[in-house]
Structure 1
Amino acid sequence: MPLEIITVPCLSDNYAFLLHAADSGLTALVDAPEAAPIRAELDKRGWQLDFVLLTHHHWDHIDGLEELRQIYQPSVVGAEADAHRLPPLDLAVKEGTAYSLLGEDVQVIEVPGHTIGHVAFHLPKSKALFTADSLMALGCGRLFEGSAAQMWQSLGKLAALPSETVVYSGHEYTQSNGAFALTIEPDNPALQARVADIAKARATGKATVPSLLSLELATNPFLRAGQDKLKQAIGMEGIDSELIFTEIRKRKDAF
C-alpha cells in the first residue's frame, strides 16, 4: 500500500509532514517546527510517532523535536555533516547512505546552499521528495551559509529526478515567490496560470505545498536559470547558467 502523507501547518508559515504506512502502522515525521500541531494530528489519527527525519539545523525545523522525543521516543535521523548542531541523532546519514523507512528505500541527497549541511529525502516508490528550504514551491531557500554555485548544483540534482515527483517543501512562501517569478518571466503562460491558481487557493486558506516537480520545472525561475527563454526574458542570452541563477537569487533577495 502507498504511504499516506499529511501536510501539517506549523508556526506562522512552516510545514511538517507525517508519513504513515497502513500495513505496519508505523509513522514518520519530516522536520519538527513545533510539537503541538504535530501531536494534534497524531492524536486525531491515532498514530504513534516512530521516526523523525531532519533536513537541516534551523530552529524552525527542529524546535518541536525535544517535546516529541519525550512523548513518543522516535528514532531521529539527520545529516552526518550537521550532527554537531542538530539534536542528538540515532542515525547520521549522508548522500549514498542506504536507508529504509516504512518499508521504502530512501535516497539521501545532499543539497547545500541554504545551509551547508542541508539534506533532502527522496522516496522513489512514493514519488515523494522532501526538500525543506532547498527547492521550494516557486523558489529556493535564501543562501545563509552556502554559495550560489552550491545551491545551483543542489537544484540540479533535484531537477534531474522524475518529473512526476511530488515536492514537499518547508514553507508557505508560494504566493510571494510567484509575484517575484513574474518579474523574471512575465510572459510564461504556465507561470501566469499557476499564480492565478495560487491566489484562489490562498483566498480559501488552502496550502500550496506540495507541488509537482514538473510544475516547478515549468514555472520556478531558480530551476529555469539554464533555459534560453528565461535568459532572453532578462536580457542575459548566452550567459553561463550558474551566473543567471546567481543574478536571480540576488534579485529575489532585494525583492
Structure 2
Amino acid sequence: MIHIQAIKAFQDNYIWLLSESGSQQCLVVDPGEADVVEKAMKSLNLALSGVLITHHHWDHTNGIQALTKDRNIPVYGPDNAEISGITYPLNGTETLTVLGTEFNILKTPGHTLDHIAYFANPDQDDPILFCGDTLFSAGCGRLFEGTAEQMLSSLNKLRSLPKNTRVYCAHEYTLANLAFARAVEPANPSIKEYRNKVIQLREQGRPSLPSSLELEFTINPFLRIDQHSVITAVKEHAPCTVLSNDAEVFGALRHWKDQF
C-alpha cells in the first residue's frame, strides 16, 4: 500500500513523499527544496529511492542536485535539457513502476510545454494523480508557455480519469482559487460548502489537499466551462470577447483569473 505525505516547502509548495507499507524506501515528487525532504525522511526513518519531476520550474527541481549528490537513484521527469539531473527522461507515453506501483505518464502541456503528470491506480479502487501545476483545487496553472487549447486538452485528459481519483497538486492555492470560483459561480452551493471546509483545515494547519476529481467537477470553473453558469459569467465579464468554442471560453476564463 502506498502512503502519501505532504512536505511543506517555500511559501505554498507541497513536495509529496510516497512510501510503501513494510519498506523504508520512498520517493518524492517535485523536490524544489532538499533540506525539508532530508528532515522528513530522517523523522520517518525512510531512505530515498527515486525522484519524480513534473516540469522544469525551479520550485519543483532545485532540490534534485543535493538529493542525488550522494545517492545513486533514478530521477524521472520530462525530456527537457533545461532540467539538470534527469536520468530517465519521459515524453508522456510511458508506464513506470516504482514502489511496486505502476504509473501512467500523461503529457499535460499548458502551464509549461514540458509538463507531465503521474497517474496510478494501485488498489484498483483508490487512484492517485500527481499533476504538478496543471490542475489545482478549484483552479489550474497559468499559461506561461502553452496555449489555452493545449491546457484545455490537458485538463480534458485529466477529466477522463476515474472520478474518485485523488488529486495531489503542487501548491496550496485552494482558498484563493475558491474566491475566484465564487466570483464566477456565486450561486454554486458546493463552492461555499467546500470553502468552509478548507478554512477549517487551514486554521488547523492542515493541507487542503488531496482533492478529488469528483469534487473538482463541482467547484472548479476550469473543469466546468461547458456549464451554462460559467459560460454566462465569462460572457458578462468580457462582453466583447468572441466565445465560439470551449477553448475560447477557457482562454477568457483564464485571462479573467490572471487579472483577479
| Range into which the TM-score falls when normalised by the shorter chain | over 0.9
Q: Following superposition of structure 1 onto structure 2, how do residues 16-95 of structure 1 map, counting pairs within 5 Å?
A: 16-80=15-79, 82=80, 84-95=81-92
Q: Name the Cα RMSD after superposition.
A: 1.6
| Native 8 Å contact 1:121 1:129 kept in 2 | yes
| Native 8 Å contact 1:48 1:72 kept in 2 | no
Q: Which amino acid aligns with 2:116?
A: V
What residue number does 1:121 align with? 118
What residue number does 1:160 align with? 160
What residue number does 1:252 align with? 257
What residue number does 1:110 align with? 107
Q: Which amino acid aligns with 1:203?
A: E
Structure 1 unaligned regions, length at least 5: none
> Matched residue of 2:223: which SS?
coil
Quote how far apart the aligned CAs of 1:239 are. Answer: 4.4
Structure 2 unaligned regions, length at least 5: 237-242
For each residue in 1:126-150, what CA deviation from the matched residue of structure 2 results, as whole angstroms up to 9, or x when unmatched?
Answer: 5110011001111111110001110
Hey, what's the Cα distance between the residues in 2 that align with 1:88 and 1:38?
17
Q: Following superposition of structure 1 onto structure 2, how do residues 166-245 of structure 1 map, counting pairs within 5 Å?
A: 166-235=166-235, 239-245=244-250
Q: TM-score, with normalisation over the residues of structure 2?
A: 0.92
What is the percentage of aligned positions where both structures have the same residue? 35
| Native 8 Å contact 2:24 2:45 kept in 1 | no
Hey, what's the Cα distance between the residues in 1 that align with 2:7 and 2:257?
27
Quote how far apart the aligned CAs of 1:71 are. Answer: 3.9
Q: Which amino acid aligns with 2:31?
A: A
Out of 69-78 and 97-106, give the one that drifted further: 69-78
Query: How many equivalent residue pairs?
Result: 252
Out of 100-109 and 196-205, give the one that drifted further: 196-205
> Matched residue of 1:50: which SS?
strand
Hey, what's the Cα distance between the residues in 2 that align with 1:15 and 1:57?
16
Hey, what's the Cα distance between the residues in 1 that align with 2:204 and 2:96?
39
Hey, what's the Cα distance between the residues in 1 that align with 2:12 and 2:121?
27
Hey, what's the Cα distance between the residues in 2 that align with 1:98 and 1:248?
33
Quote how far apart the aligned CAs of 1:233 are. Answer: 4.1
Hey, what's the Cα distance between the residues in 2 that align with 1:247 and 1:194?
25
Q: Which amino acid aligns with 1:13?
A: D
